[in-house]
Chains A and B, each alone.
Chain A
Amino acid sequence: MTGTDTTPSEDVRRDPAAEPGAAEGSLFDPEIARNPQPVYKAMRDLAPVVDLGERSPTGGVALGKHEDVVAGLRAPDVFSSGFDAVRIGQVRPLIPLQIDPPDHVAYRKVLDPLFSPRRVAALEPRVRELARHLVEAVADDGACNFNAAFAEPYPSTVFLELLGLPVSRATEFIAFKDGIVRPPARTPEEREEMVIETGRQIYAVLEEVVDARTRAPKDDFISAFLTSEVDGHRLTRDDVIDICYLFFLAGLDTVTASLDCMLAFLAEHPHHRRQIVDDPGLIPNAVEEMLRWETPVPGVMRLTTQDTEMSGCPIAAGSHVVMLLASANTDERAWDRADEVDFTREVVKHLAFGGGVHRCLGSHLARLELRVALEEWHARIPEYGLAPGTELEYSPGLRQIEHLPLVW
Chain B
Amino acid sequence: MSGQTSGMIVKFYGVRGSIPAPGPETNEYGGNTSCVTVRTSSGHLIIVDMGTGLANLGTSLLPTEFGQGQGKATILLSHSHWDHIQGLGFFPPVFIPGNQFTLYGHAKSSSMLEGILEGQMNPNFSPLYTLKNLGATFEVRAMTGSTVVEAGGARITGVPNPHGSTTALAFRIQEGDRSFVYASDAGYPDSGPSKEALALYKDATVLLHDTTYTPKDQLRRRNRGFSSYVEAASAAVTSGVSHLVMFHYDQDYADTDVDALRDACRAELDRRGGQKILLTAAYEGLELPI
- Same complex for A and B? Answer no
